[in-house]
Structure 1
Amino acid sequence: MPKVKKAAPETNLSDPQYYFNRELSWLEFNNRVLHEGVDTRTPLLERLKFIAIFSSNLDEYFMVRVAALKEQIGAQVSNLTPDGRSPQEQLDALIQRLRPMVVQQHDHFEQKLRPQLTAKGIHILNYKDLNEEQRSYLRSYFQEKIFPVLTPLAIDPSHPFPYISNLRLNLAVIVKNPDTGEKRLARVKVPNNLTRFLSFPRELHLNQNGGLSIWTGIPIEQVIAHHLEFLFPGMDIQEYHVFRITRDADLEVQEDEADDLMLAIEQELRKRRLGGSVVRIEVESSTPAAVRKVLIQEMGLESSDIYEVEGLLSLKDLMFFMTLPLPELKDPPCIPVIPPRLLRVSKLIDRNSSQRNQEDFFSVIRQGDLMLHHPYHSFTASVQQFITQAAHDPDVLAIKMTLYRTADDSPIIKALIAAAEREKQVTVLVELKARFDEENNILWARKLEKSGVHVVYGMVGLKTHTKVTLVVRQENNYLRRYVHIGTGNYNHKTAKLYTDLGILSCAEDVGADLTGLFNYLTGYSRQQFYKNLLVAPVNLRNRIVALIQREMEHCQNGNAGRIIAKMNALVDPQIIKTLYQASQVGVQIDLIVRGICCLRPGVQGVSENIRVISIIGRYLEHSRVFHFHNNGEEEIFIGSADWMGRNLDRRVEAVTSIKDPSLATNLKEMLGIMLADNRQAWELQADGSYIQRRPGSNEPEQNSQQIFMNMALKSTEIV
């Protein structure tokens, strides 16, 4: 039974004690990622992958979030976060929490994973472990392949401290003049266009149990370090130390002052390549104090900005080992399936385009809305093929879509170009401000414009994050609108790695809503009413609050109140406060939040009816689903928006209501499967810690992602 308990009048739901810090919550998310690299139930190479993801995530965290905190501190910003912390207090807390995580990561790789790799015939060697034949090979390799690329840079009064590139490995080298005895510091940059791990030819692999190893190699920085005499002839090499820096990489574009947004962003990208201020230095633990002092002074940092590493730096490069052909050390392959209703269409894809057949994509959609669940359903055979067929169908008059992030070899972009060449009206909103995809999006925007596509760059002050497509087709004397609304990007590569949902529909009211949305995006429309869509920043915030409050009213009237919401992040204070109010009157709330969660669950009298889990697994959980019980007249939504201030107020987002009862039932079943997960789910505690669920002694393992794979396989034949 619900724990119905009204809050005492003096309860202040804005009190900082009821909120977790956003930056620290993100660190807890990345710690759960790290755990996948530690968990022995995870296949060995997959554990390396998670170690690499942890590192890559951390790089971006420093480039954006830590950099922002440092800027606030420098600007003497005194505003407090909802949890009551100043920028300096946040920075101090995250450094304290992060250091043991970094130590754990490197210790686990060096002490656990490297020996286990060796036992499987994968030898990541140190130079001191090489035999003479291997050293001779590397000497020749260095002279032929590496030496010509290197440029040693002296550091002395006539040679100022050189520019250090973001996220690149470097060697700080101390050399001595044998004639004068004078010691000098030099820097050698490890080229980023050469492979990090150099493999020996098969004849030089180590023997393992009487046979050849699977892979034997060495990090490139060690090869460079042991041939420094070629770079500093006549000098005595005293010592060398590997280091790496991280710079502020966020863009600052004043849109309202930019005459040409694309030009403004290109200028900012050039600044990013040069790099902003340094926010972190990673050094080997053996690096002496004198070298550290030089790095700190030249980078304008403090000792707290240095992170010591035992062993290899830049463990994100471990992703390389996922390319090894060792399926027994990886997750079993999962081949996306074609949704059953599209099987007939897939068999017609390669037929001559002059052959007309009633069984095409459009006829399938006319039979009823179609729900897609990636990566279990093939993105290529569904969303991509829908857009490709629209591009080539002579009855299609117009295609409109939004692009936030897409692949550098996107078949969807090629389809849109083909559509424009066939004189269809093609409009694409390309979000140039998608962080770290700006350059790729500029490239595609130019190609689309050259082909005749009408390209829009977004709205001033807003990022267009929504994932929608609208196709207008002439059918007899009637124009019919076909739509795709999704939770993920139009990217065929990430669609294999992220879990996302999408719906294909030709419902008239949904098509009308999307027409209004595109007019809002491309013209001067100020449309405020949408029949099915919740649109940010127009009505999404108010509608979400109203839906939560409706559940409260049902409870207050003696009925049940129930909310299940799945998202990537929950940060917005107003939404959190409303959820607290709902919990206080007895609404049962289950939240599936992959990453940041600033809501504190399980607090008596405030959030005791709220439970929060996070699912971290083989695929990145990326779909957003919102279910409201509504006293039995349930409503369920999917869309692109998390419950964060940026999504609700500073981005264009679209969330759609799922009207088809069978699809709504499927979504509720999906949410139930995730809530029952006891393999990849972590439960958030009232103190901010997460506890990983484990099956009981007589309880079967429930891996939600594996269950979804099995469900997809059972529904149809494998592609």
Structure 2
Amino acid sequence: MTNADFLKSDFQTPIEIPEMDLTGPDRFFNRELSWLAFNWRVLEEAENTRVPLLERLRFLSISATNLDEFYTVRVAGLRELAREGNVTPGQDGLSPAEQLVLIDEDARKLMTRQQAIFAQLREELTASDILVLNREEITEDDAVFLQDVFLNQVFPVLSPLAIDPAHPFPFIPNTGYSLALELERKKDKRPLQALLPIPHQIDRFVALPGTNGTQRFLMLEDLLILHLEILFPGYKAKGHCTFRVLRDSDMEVEEEAEDLVREFETALKRRRRGEVVRLQLSRGAPKSLRNMISRELHVNPQEIIEFDGMIGIADLKELVLDNRPDLLWTPFAPRVPERVQDHDGDMFAAIKQKDMLLHHPYETFDMVVRFISQAARDPNVVAIKQTLYRTSKRSPIVEALCEAAEDGKSVTALVELKARFDEAANIRQSRRLERAGAHVVYGFTDWKTHAKISTVVRREGNRLVTYTHYGTGNYHPITAKVYTDLSFFTCDDGLGRDATKIFNYLSGYVQPESLENLAISPLSLKKTLIENIRKEAEFARAGKPAEIWAKMNSLIESEVIDALYEASQAGVKISLVVRGICGLRPGIKGLSDNIRVKSVVGRFLEHSRIACFGNGHGLPSKKAKVYISSADWMGRNLNRRVETLVRIDNPTVKAQIVSQIMAANMADTAQSWVMKADGSFDRAQVPQGEFSFNCHRFFMENPSLSGRGSAGASDVPKLTHTDDEAAT
């Protein structure tokens, strides 16, 4: 089957909603409820029997981690607005208090479903010889083994705490998990309340000896309950419960902080002491313990969620066992681009031959690391500039930048301190770079620098050549193994000049003028997007082919959504691949007749941002206008961050983006969800007997066009179904 065959599918017949005001807030779907809908899609992968068992367990864990972050940031912010009496509606017309009611209702359903899925997966794990035991199932031999584990690996790091007037209730950090106890002294029956905070450093699951290939585990809380008499000698337990705390993790930083790094270090300490936004409590807790915990943590009844099952579902990631490859995705080794191999690993030679676009994780992120590492060692390189938004703890890119600075090269690193939950790591990286002699700048106090750019200035003969990397994802070698992102390498003079102007803007606040191939937010990116959308509408009104394909993580910016609605009404066919939040409502008659939205959720996390405009020729077309970007179509990205939108002119790279990457994403049915006008999503349907196309599998099997070497790339790989399953 050819690419064209896949892209023939008609748009759904738009529905009419008589009571809907097409010019009012009803035209937008609520951001927070849309995020919850995305997390439902993640959770439903835990039930997808086409996904290996342990990967399903991983999806369940991810859904819980996602929900934790959602509460500590988004819900915390809405709660603060509601407490302050703020009734200003969002673009969808809902006030903070109204949103909180709807969020609470949906989130509670989601958490209930998480518990039900874990119970189901636990049975399947047992059938696959992975047993999660209750303490009642422990044998005498197990008890001997567990006592040794407890005394030597757990007991030394525990701090049992009595709760009385002389021992006040301790501070429980964000995501802190604790065991609360009602005790009675044996000699005189004197009651005692106590807490046992459980350090994050201890694994949640204790491995027990197994036989005949069986792996057995006991939850940590069960291990603790079995050994309470060692922790509290002379006492016996009358009752207990477990609880977990989520705290407000957003931060406020003084805009005029004299020392931005020091201000962020202080803010991180404030985060650890943020107000509690959610208390998870085991159901059936003794009333006295429940009252004591809620009183001391200052939580209201509506902020308490009681569980029958496991508290802290996110910890299930510990059970994703490397020694059970039969229950994991088939191993995949990212490719080294053929052209780089043709040049014996020389990145500069490969880039100089022709622009190159790598599609991660299918092409290895090691090429990005090699680009910087080779520059650090190359005596002809005189300068390196690099943005760092998120990176790994022992980042090979930071290592290379330090090596280059110590070797006397001019190194400038833009470190974004406001990368949420990575602030502490970025502070450490900035200190290290400064010690190596690099120039470290922090960009703007009120705007995050989210752009992904690196430049290498190399002396070649009597001229300086700038090699540039533009990315859609972070310079993070760990997440690059599971995030789908794009890395564009070029030595085009215009793109190099654009990158240099952006770095000058970040370090010297000098607004760039006359950018040649680049638009940036907050200055010109949104304007460029809207101009392209409106241009397609003009083509449609003139009777020319008019089409937009775009891919992003989130779409919520109201002006962009309204521009898309206007284009739809003009007759532009708009196909959007939106992984997560979508505030646009597709398929509504008189508003979004010609807009369809899908979400791809599968083995890899879709993260690349792409925009393709037919430019009067429809799509796919060699004359299309094609962009890659670091920015989602959200207010924060387009109005309050430094982001890039890079126009792609190289014909091979354009063909790769339009006819390979975008076509495959839109053709996917194996892991796709289709958005309906009410904001809900249905799994993509495949007719009986037809094959279900999986874009992730396609990318794993087909090399990127622009990375092809001497073999060439005469044709775009066909979107075939050779290894996929027939719908049943």
Task: Calculate the TM-score normalised by the size of structure 2.
Answer: 0.92
Q: Does 1:35 align with 2:44?
A: yes
Q: Distance between the aligned counterparts of 1:152 and 1:363, measured in 2?
A: 62
Partner deviation per Cα, 1:209-243 (whole Å, 9 max, x = no partner): xx341x21211111111211122222221011111
Structure 1 position 374 matched with structure 2 position 360: yes
**Aligned partner (choices 274, 277, 292) of residue 276 of structure 1:** 274
Post-superposition CA distance 1:156-203 (Å, at most 9, x none): 2332222112212211101123455443321111122112111123xx
The equivalent of 2:681 in structure 1 is 690
Q: Give me the whole-angstrom Cα distance separating, in 2, the residues matched to 1:167 and 1:2.
A: 44
Paired position in structure 1 for 2:225: 225
- The equivalences for 1:140-159 within 5 A come to 140-159=148-167
Q: Which residue of 2 is the match for residue 174 of structure 1?
A: 182
Q: Is the 8 A contact 1:13 1:577 kept in 2?
A: no
State yes or no: 1:132 paired with 2:173. no
Are 2:359 and 1:398 equivalent residues in the alignment?
A: no
Corresponding position of 1:243: 243
Are 2:114 and 1:100 aligned? no
1:480–1:89 distance in 2 versus 1, CA, 3 Å: same
Change (3 A) 1:576 1:297: same
Match of 1:117 in 2: 125
Q: Deviations over 1:626-682 (max 9, x none)?
A: 000010231000010000010011110011011011211111122111111111110
Q: Name the counterpart of 1:674.
A: 665
Task: Go from structure 1 to structure 2 and tell me whether the alpha carbon gap of 1:402 and 1:14 turns closer, same or farther (over 3 Å shift).
Answer: farther
The match for 2:703 is 712
Q: Distance in 2 between matches of 1:537 and 1:510?
A: 19
Relative to structure 1, the CA distance from residue 524 to residue 279 in structure 2 (aligned partners, 3 Å threshold; closer, same or farther) is: closer
- Partner Cα separation in structure 2 for residue 601 and residue 237 of structure 1: 57
Q: What is the alpha-carbon distance in structure 2 between the residues aligned to residue 59 and residue 337 of structure 1? A: 35
1:466-505 map, 5 Å? 466-505=451-490
Structure 2 residue aligned with 1:196: 204
- 1:282-336 Cα shifts (integer Å, max 9, x gaps): 1112224443232222222221211122222112111112243111100101100
Q: Which moved more, 1:616-625 or 1:130-139?
A: 130-139
- Partners of 2:377 and 2:685 lie apart in 1 by 51
Q: Contact between 1:2 and 1:586, CA under 8 Å: does it hold in 2?
A: no
- DSSP 3-state at the match of 2:674: strand
What's the % identity of the aligned pairs?
42
Whether the 8 Å contact between 1:3 and 1:586 is mirrored in structure 2 is no
Residue 376 of structure 2 contacts residue 400 of structure 2 at CA under 8 Å; is this kept in 1? yes
Match of 1:334 among 332, 335, 338: 332
CA–CA separation in structure 1 for the residues paired with 2:175 and 2:399:
33
Deviation per CA, 1:258-305: give whole Å up to 9, x if none.
0100000001112223x2000001111222444323222222222121
Equivalent-residue separation in structure 1 for 2:543 and 2:398 (angstroms): 53
Counterparts in 2 of 1:422 and 1:227: CA distance versus 1, 3 Å: same
Contact 1:262–1:432 (CA under 8 A) maintained in structure 2: yes
Matched letter for residue 223 of structure 2: V
AA matched with 2:89: L
Cα deviation, 1:60-91, whole Å, max 9, x if unaligned, reads 11110111111111221121101111111111
Q: Distance in 1 between matches of 2:157 and 2:632?
A: 46
Partner residue in 2 for 1:355: none
CA distance in 1, matches of 2:586, 2:475: 34
The residue that corresponds to 2:724 in the other structure is none
Q: Does the C-alpha gap of structure 1 residues 502 and 137 become closer, same or farther in structure 2, counting only changes over 3 Å?
A: same
In 2: Cα distance, 1:533 partner to 1:62 partner: 36
1:643/1:156 Cα in 2 relative to 1: closer, same or farther (>3 Å)? same
Q: Does 1:634 align with 2:624?
A: yes
Are the aligned partners of 1:580 and 1:606 in contact in 2 as well (CA < 8 Å)?
A: yes
1:387/1:415 contact within 8 Å kept: yes
Aligned to 2:605: 620
The amino acid that maps onto 1:660 is N
Per-residue deviation at 1:58? 0.9
Shift of 1:387: 1.1
Give the counterpart letter for 1:365 in structure 2: I
Decide which moves more: 113-122 or 368-377: 113-122
8 Å Cα contact 1:399-1:426 kept in structure 2: yes
User: Within 5 A, what are the aligned runs for 1:425-444?
Assistant: 425-444=410-429
Counterpart AA for 1:663? V
Which TM-score applies when normalising by structure 1?
0.93
Give, as a single letter, the amino acid of the residue that structure 1 aligns with 2:40: N
Report how many residues are paired.
691
Cα separation, 1, equivalents of 2:682 and 2:537: 29
Q: Give the residue type in structure 1 aligned to 2:79.
A: K
- The corresponding residue for 1:361 is 347
Deviates more, 1:147-156 or 1:498-507: 147-156
Give the secondary structure class of the aligned counterpart of 1:418: helix
Deviations 1:538-593 (A, max 9, x none): 10011111111001111111212111110000010111111111111111101100
8 Å CA contact retained: 1:69, 1:87: yes
Take 1:600 and 1:700, find their aligned partners in 2: how far apart are those partners? 29
Q: CA deviation at 1:40?
A: 1.1
Q: Does residue 54 of structure 2 align to residue 75 of structure 1?
A: no
- Counterpart CA distance in 1 for 2:427 and 2:87 is 37
* Separation (CA, whole Å) in 2 of partners of 1:403 and 1:279: 31
Give 5+ residue unaligned stretches, structure 1: 349-359
In structure 2, what residue type is equivalent to 1:371?
L
Taking the aligned partners of 1:116 and 1:423, their CA distance within structure 2 comes to 58
CA displacement at 1:13 relative to structure 2: 4.9
The 3 A distance-change label for structure 1 pair 627 and 495 is: same
Over the aligned positions, Cα root-mean-square deviation in angstroms equals 2.0
Q: 319, 322, 338: which one pairs with 2:320? A: 322
Kindly tell me: are residues 276 and 3 of structure 1, through their superposed partners in 2, closer, same or farther at Cα, counting changes over 3 Å? closer
**Which residue is 1:351 aligned to?**
none
SS in 2 for 1:283: strand
Q: List aligned pairs for 1:293-692, cutoff 5 A.
A: 293-345=291-343, 347-348=344-345, 360-380=346-366, 382-632=367-617, 633-669=623-659, 670-692=661-683
Paired letter, 2:297: M
- Relative to structure 1, the CA distance from residue 265 to residue 2 in structure 2 (aligned partners, 3 Å threshold; closer, same or farther) is closer
CA distance in 1, matches of 2:82, 2:494: 49
Distance change >3 Å, CA 2–CA 105, structure 1 → 2: closer
What letter is aligned with 2:47?
Answer: V
8 Å CA contact 1:407–1:493 kept in 2: the answer is yes
- Measure the CA separation in 1 of the matches of 2:591 and 2:286: 52
**1:712 aligns to what SS in structure 2?**
coil
Question: Is the Cα contact below 8 Å between 1:337 and 1:713 reproduced in 2?
Answer: no
Structure 2: which 5+ residue stretches go unaligned? Answer: 1-9, 618-622, 710-728
Residue 713 (structure 1) shift: 9.2
Distance apart, 1:2 and its partner CA: 9.2
Give yes or no for contact 1:255–1:461 (8 Å, CA) kept in 2: yes
- Deviation per CA, 1:113-159: give whole Å up to 9, x if none: 11111111111111111111101221232233322322221222332
- 1:319-378: CA deviations, max 9, x gaps? 112243111100101100011111133x45xxxxxxxxxxx3222212111011000001
- Are the equivalent residues in 1 in contact too, given 2:239–2:286 (CA < 8 A)? no
Query: Given the superposition, is the C-alpha separation of residues 491 and 212 from structure 1 closer, same or farther in structure 2, using an over 3 Å criterion?
Result: closer
Superimposed CA distance per residue, residues 585-644 of structure 1 (whole angstroms, 9 cap, x where no aligned partner): 111101100000010111110011100000001111000000000102310000100000
Query: Residue 196 of structure 2 aligns to which amino acid in structure 1?
Result: V
The residue matched to 1:687 in structure 2 has which SS? coil
Per-residue CA distance 1:502-528 (angstroms, 9 max, x = gap): 110011111111111111111131224
Q: Distance in 2 between matches of 1:523 and 1:191?
A: 44
Amino acid at match of 1:377: E
- Residue deviations 1:369-424, cap 9 Å, x none? 101100000110x2111111111111111111100000111111111111112211
Match in the other structure for 1:183: 191
